[in-house]
């Protein structure tokens, strides 16, 4: 079955207060439980804020390191989920459920097949 990457984009800054974050996390837990029950969950992870990131880039044969995320932006990748879905339409439906649950933008992108 094809796999898809669902990328969560979140704004920089502190997390929402507990009274707002609690219901979001409960909704997210339900979507994840439904995805597992449907046999589509593969892997998921949250990421630390972008500040501790490092970018390694080859320049003139030397690897240069810069601090911070690759792009300066008001949002950063906050986490991701890899799912299996029958087709893009099904993956988009899961992405929509995630977007509704966590109230943040979700990018849905097919993964290249291995081998």
The domain spanning residue 98 has which CATH number?
3.30.70.1060
Residues 6+ apart with CB under 8 A from 16: 24
Query: Has residue 115 been placed in a domain?
Result: no
- In this predicted structure, what is the pLDDT of residue 15? 84
How far is the C-alpha of 61 from the C-alpha of 100, rounded, in Å? 45
Query: Has residue 77 been placed in a domain?
Result: yes
- DSSP annotation of 27 reads H
pTM, two decimal places: 0.85
Range of the domain at 68: 3-110
Query: Has residue 48 been placed in a domain?
Result: yes
Work out how many domains the chain is built from and give that number. Answer: 1
- In this predicted structure, what is the pLDDT of residue 70? 62
Pick out the chain residues at pLDDT < 70. Answer: 50-51, 69-73, 115
- In this predicted structure, what is the pLDDT of residue 50? 65
Within 13 A of 66's CA, how many CA atoms are on the CB side? 10
């Amino acid at each position: 079955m094809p796999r898809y990457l669902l990328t969560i984009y979140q704004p920089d800054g502190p997390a929402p207060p507990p009274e707002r974050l609690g219901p979001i996390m409960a909704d997210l837990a339900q979507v994840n439980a439904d995805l597992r029950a449907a046999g589509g969950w593969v892997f998921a992870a949250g990421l630390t804020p972008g500040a501790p990131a490092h970018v390694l880039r080859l320049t003139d044969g030397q690897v240069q390191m810069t601090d911070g995320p690759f792009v300066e932006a008001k949002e950063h990748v906050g986490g991701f989920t890899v799912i299996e879905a029958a087709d893009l339409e099904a993956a988009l439906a899961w992405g929509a459920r995630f977007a509704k649950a966590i109230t943040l933008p979700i990018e849905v992108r097919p993964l290249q097949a291995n081998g």
